[in-house]
Amino acid sequence: MDIFSGLLNGFSIALTPMNVLFAFIGAVLGTAIGVLPGLGPAATIALLLPATYAIESPVTAIILMAGIFYGSMYGGSTTSILLNLPGEAASVVTCIDGYKMAQQGRAGAALGIAAIGSFVAGTVGVIGMTFFAPVIATFALSFGPPEKFSLAVVGLLLAVTLSGASIVKGLIMMATGLLLADVGLDPISGKTRFAFGVTELNSGFDFVTLAMGVFGLGEIFYGLEQTMKGELVTTKVGQVWPTMKDWVASRWAILRGTLVGFFIGVIPGGGAVISSLVSYAVEKRVAKDPSQFGHGAIQGVAGPESANNAASSSSFIPLLTLGIPGNASIAMIFAALLIKGVTPGPFLIQEHPEIFWGVIASMYIGNVMLLVLNLPLVGLWAQLVRVPFAIMAPVIILFTAIGSYSIQGQVFDIYSLVGFGLFGYALRKLKIEAGPLVLAFVLGPMVEAAMRQSLLMSGGDFTVFVTRPISATLIALFVTLALGQAGVALWKSRRATASSNSNRP
Amino acid sequence: MGRAERVAAAVVIGGGLAVAWHAYAHLKLGMMISPGAGFLPFWVGVALVILGTIWLGMSLMAPQPQAAAPAEAPAERPAGHPALTRLVPGVLLVIAYGWIFERAGFFLATALFMIAWQKGIEREGWVKSLVVTIVCAGAMYLLFSFLLKGVLPRGTWFD
Amino acid sequence: MKRLAASLTAILAVAAFSATAMAADFPTKPVQAVVPMAAGGSTDLLARAVEKYWAKYSKQPMVIVNKPGGGGVVGTEGVVRAKPDGYTLYIGYGSGHDVVMPTLQKMPYDPQKDLVAVSRVSIHSVAIVASAKAPYNDIKELLAFAKKEGKPITTAVSVKAGAVDLALTAFGKAAGVNIVTVPFSGGAEATTALAGGHLMIGGGHPSEIIPHVKAGRFKVLAVVLPERDPSLPNVPTLKEQGVNVATWGSIKGLAAPAATPKEVVKEIDATIKKICDDPEFRKTMADLNQPILYQNSEDFAKFIKQATADYAALIKELNIKID
């Protein structure tokens, strides 16, 4: 199908009252959970996953979830700027300069530029998706098992190395995620692994339970110990329209953030969190006066907030064209599509054009809705932070518990949820990022299956991964990136020793 | 921090050894042409041992940042450490919720959990606890009985 | 399951006085049908079709519950342990974990003794397919091509030691060629890899492959049934093409816990028969590319026994083991 007629068809689907309504619900819900610290898009989509059974049409279900995902990217900046408390992981770096700006009385400008940057990046991201996804889909079929293996492994390693946190810890998380994914029936040998006679474990851990436990419950357990103070919004929001000066200062940052976000989003293992970190680093490097960063540089808000939005759009590309979920939230949407009997992959555009183009069109609409929702109403969203922890915590616990029970109707999942919650708590205490773990859990079965399939096909020849052009290119790309990064790190550590980037509040 | 990290590193090493052994002994590594069920777990286990050792080494070599001044001890510490007065009861409450969930049914379990949370962990007064419980449990009942019709248990105690 | 059973205790207490009275009234509550596979798969689609027409012929609706996991064992075990009152049924009886798995590994229940067959609805045969661009159009050409190339025939199958894997392995043995079956996780993944030209042939159920055949991506080389598959009437069987191999593919029927009263089983069977005769249901199933091959309770039980024995013999002959 031609791109324009496809898009037109998509709009005719996305503009039906039902789909507009669900795009709106998704945008509102996404902004809300983006604002609320501790409840990220992955956990929210996980909570809503059982509800998709009740939604008849798959397009509507995906429109809702996509709305939550990119909507949360808008909301995430609000508490970062106002309270120095990231609303979700992709807005961690926004705290650094955003909160400083708020302290200087420029909270409105920071919130405004974040919303505008998000809108520009989100829209550019969707436009990019409109034109690139069908192209990628045409050669998606040449991704056989060896290519899938290389792509998934490179994605995992990128998630570990790009995030900037400790590589050793990241690799440990990745390994743990791979092992957790191995629990249960092995599809290739038909053998049950690591179940130790527990019937419920034969089918393995459920991804939703794992994600809700590690992220949602872990965060609550951590909060319980902190005796959260009911901190209120005291900062005045003020004028949200950026001044001419702000505008001039941040327009290139927005564009750079959009580009960085778009490309990192396409890589599996990339996604919003990493793209925001990379964008911040890029802004700091290209700035005329890097010393401004950390003291309220508006580029430090504009860049990352644009990047995470562009990435959230472009991370749909590998899902919809290759059937490969690149990050935790997209993995939830992947699961929702499967529940609806739609297998994302190379045939999606041909066999379900209404889903592919309907979702894309709804993202154009959703971004406009979000701009309208966010710019004038930002003060209102900030009020959400006032819901006391004493009510918020048990409600979130109940949501996660009921959510994981409802997936298979077994109480065992509530217990494993608690287990993952404690694990997430431990990670939080040890300051370890759980992202690689969750991603490895999702990609693990694919990595393993693709490796074993490739070896079966090649008769045990390991060179299959480097002799096939796409696979070899991917590996070469990663090696170049890793060497480059190592080089930069080395150069930096020689050059300066006085910088201590404590970007964790 | 330092001690917790060393313990965690030791757990990683131990876990890696256990996984690698289990994979080797029980799952079988297979041959190069068709790697068996234990192939990946074995090598991941080995990797964990190596990574854990590096981590342990790093945390042993790292300078202890002002070991005497724990930055995480805020002044507003009430009687008892919050880990004991809040975290442990909180975790136990969730487990109890799981235990009672199919027995008492979804609605009663939710209400009991809510009131126990308000009284036991947040130490709220009875009036506030009851109001919060009724509002939250009621709202969740409406929400979930709409979203997940029929999936939630009605309780085996009342039959 | 426990909770449902418990909530039915009251009804049971009354009904227990007379099994016949119960059958006459059956059903007085919605019937829960467990599909031990993921939503959206071919078994689930069949169950949903039955559910839709069940309401037309029964006083109470049918509720489908998907309980995937453990290759189908988890959900099926739930039915085995459920109260045998006819209100908990199993849709998908005759699948790989009922007729193939018991020969290969220890099961937590006996699929024949712990379940009573209600009725057979369909058989999902195994078809051998190749990419539309492949230089061979039937089994003879495939074998000639493999001989000329001197390489093993790489074959995409949906799952290890499932009905498809067994059929293709048996084909290789009977035809005297080296077949390497590459298991994927599910039929959709296997067909995608085959469409990308990464393997020489693949096996799949007609419901999975016919959409690809219609889209011009695949051609069907053979069907591995004793007779031609009604949903692929133009495709010759392996036997017709000179390779003496036939399997039963994957059978799809209904079953209930073993102790379910005979009268109730008869009642459900009668309802299923009416559904299978319904012209609209027949059309729905044709759209799903699933042939209707109805059998009543007694015949179906015998058929399951035969199919299990046939598979056991095949597994022994091929020397397949899961360790």
Minimum distance, in Å, between the CA of residue B64 and any CA atom of chain A: 15
Minimum distance, in Å, between the CA of residue B87 and any CA atom of chain A: 6
C320 lies within 8 A of chain A by CB: no
**How far is Cα A168 from Cα A188, in angstroms, rounded to an integer?**
30
Strand partners, C219: C130
The answer to whether C2 contacts B28, with C-beta atoms less than 8 Å apart, is no
The pLDDT confidence band at residue B59, using thresholds 50, 70 and 90, is: confident
Number of structural domains chain A divides into = 1
Average pLDDT, chain A: 80
How many other CB atoms are there within 10 angstroms of residue B135's CB atom?
12
Say what the pLDDT of residue C35 is.
87
Q: What is the mean pLDDT of residues A164-171?
A: 79
> With contacts defined as CB-CB under 8 Å, which chain A residues touch C188?
343, 345
* Nearest chain C residue (CA) to B154: C3
Residue B103 or residue B30, greater confidence: B103
C26: containing domain: 2-124+249-318
- Domain boundaries defined on chain B: 2-61, 82-147
Say whether pLDDT at C311 is over 60: yes
Say what the pLDDT of residue C235 is.
93
Show the 3-state SS of A24-68: HHHHHHHHHHHHCCCCCHHHHHHHHHHHHHCCCCHHHHHHHHHHH
Last residue of a domain, one of C241, C261, C277: C241
Q: Is residue C83 part of a domain?
A: yes
State pLDDT tens for residues A342-387. 777 778 888 888 899 999 999 999 999 999 888 877 777 766 666 6
Say whether pLDDT at C17 is over 50: no
Number of structural domains chain C divides into = 2
Say whether pLDDT at C54 is over 60: yes
Minimum distance, in Å, between the CA of residue C270 and any CA atom of chain A: 30
For residue C12, give the DSSP letter: H
Q: Is residue C323 part of a domain?
A: no
- Which site among A174, A180, A193, A400 would you substitute to test the B interface, given the most B Cβ atoms closer than 10 Å to its Cβ? A193
ipTM of this predicted structure:
0.85
Report which listed range, A43-57, A432-446, C155-169, is most confident.
C155-169
Could you tell me if C131 and C153 lie in one domain?
A: yes
Say what the pLDDT of residue A407 is.
66
The pLDDT confidence band at residue A421, using thresholds 50, 70 and 90, is: very high
Residue type, C145: F
Tell which residue, C293, C214, C215, C302, has the closest CA to residue C250. C293
Neighbours of chain C (3+ CB pairs under 8 A): A, B
Say what the pLDDT of residue C9 is.
46
Report which listed range, A217-231, B2-16, C258-272, is most confident.
C258-272
CA distances from A122 to A65, A364, B98 (A): 16, 8, 41
Q: Is residue A500 part of a domain?
A: no
Say what the pLDDT of residue B99 is.
92
> With contacts defined as CB-CB under 8 Å, which chain A residues touch C132?
none
Say whether pLDDT at A92 is over 80: no
Q: Is residue A68 part of a domain?
A: yes
CATH number of the domain residue C290 falls in: 3.40.190.150
Say whether pLDDT at C11 is over 50: no
The pLDDT confidence band at residue B151, using thresholds 50, 70 and 90, is: low
The pLDDT confidence band at residue B87, using thresholds 50, 70 and 90, is: confident
Residue C308 or residue A459, greater confidence: C308
Last residue of a domain, one of C206, C222, C241: C241
Neighbours of chain A (3+ CB pairs under 8 A): B, C
The answer to whether A199 contacts C161, with C-beta atoms less than 8 Å apart, is no
**Per-position DSSP letters for C144-169, written without gaps between them:** HHHHHHTS-EEEEESSTTSHHHHHHH
Q: What is the mean pLDDT of residues C264-275?
A: 94
Say what the pLDDT of residue C7 is.
46
> With contacts defined as CB-CB under 8 Å, which chain C residues touch A187?
159-160, 183-186
Q: Is residue C298 part of a domain?
A: yes
* Nearest chain B residue (CA) to C4: B153
- Which residues numbered 374-413 in A keep a CB inside 8 Å of some CB on B? 390-391, 393-395, 397-399, 401-402, 405-406, 409, 411
Minimum distance, in Å, between the CA of residue A329 and any CA atom of chain C: 21
Could you tell me if C61 and C75 lie in one domain?
A: yes
Say whether pLDDT at C14 is over 60: no
Residue type, A501: N
Give the DSSP H or E segment for A405.
helix A389-408
Cis peptide bond upstream of C27, omega within 30: yes
The answer to whether B156 contacts C6, with C-beta atoms less than 8 Å apart, is yes
C73 lies within 8 A of chain A by CB: yes
With a CB cutoff of 8 Å and minimum separation 6, the contacts of A148 are A322, A324, A446, A450
The pLDDT confidence band at residue B79, using thresholds 50, 70 and 90, is: low
R_g over Cα of chain A: 22
Strand partners, C253: C93, C120
Q: Is residue A503 part of a domain?
A: no
Pick from C44, C74, C180: CB nearest A203: C74
State pLDDT tens for residues C171-228. 998 898 999 988 887 776 788 788 888 899 999 888 888 878 887 889 999 999 999 9
CATH number of the domain residue C211 falls in: 3.40.190.10
The answer to whether A221 contacts B95, with C-beta atoms less than 8 Å apart, is no
Q: Are C68 and C97 in contact (CB under 8 A)?
A: no
* Nearest chain C residue (CA) to A445: C185
- pLDDT cut 70: percent of chain C above it: 89
Could you tell me if C289 and C310 lie in one domain?
A: yes
Q: What is the mean pLDDT of residues C232-238?
A: 93
Say whether pLDDT at A454 is over 70: yes
B27 lies within 8 A of chain C by CB: no
State pLDDT tens for residues A218-237. 878 888 887 554 444 445 56
Give the DSSP H or E segment for C218.
strand C218-223
Pick from A418, A456, A459: CB nearest B91: A418
Percentages of chain B per state (helix, strand, coil), in multiples of 5: 70, 0, 30
Q: Is residue C232 part of a domain?
A: yes
Q: Is residue A28 part of a domain?
A: yes
Residue A217 or residue B54, greater confidence: B54
Say what the pLDDT of residue A39 is.
60
Say what the pLDDT of residue C297 is.
95
Last residue of a domain, one of C241, C268, C288: C241
Q: What is the mean pLDDT of residues A244-269?
A: 85
The answer to whether C67 contacts A145, with C-beta atoms less than 8 Å apart, is no
Could you tell me if C14 and C119 lie in one domain?
A: yes
Say whether pLDDT at A451 is over 80: yes
Query: Which parts of A195-289 fold into alpha helices (H)?
Result: 207-211, 218-226, 244-266, 272-286
Lowest mean pLDDT among A45-49, A111-115, A310-314, C298-302: A45-49
Minimum distance, in Å, between the CA of residue C272 and any CA atom of chain A: 25
> With contacts defined as CB-CB under 8 Å, which chain B residues touch A459?
33
List residues in chain C touching B: CB distance below 8 A: 2-3, 6-7, 9-10, 63, 323
Q: Is residue A161 part of a domain?
A: yes
- pLDDT cut 70: percent of chain A above it: 85
The answer to whether C63 contacts B156, with C-beta atoms less than 8 Å apart, is no
Q: Are A35 and A79 in contact (CB under 8 A)?
A: yes
Say whether pLDDT at A241 is over 50: yes
Pick from B28, B154, B159: CB nearest C9: B159
Pick from A50, A225, A417: CB nearest B86: A225
Say whether pLDDT at B72 is over 60: no
Q: Is residue A502 part of a domain?
A: no
Say what the pLDDT of residue A347 is.
80
> With contacts defined as CB-CB under 8 Å, which chain C residues touch A200?
74
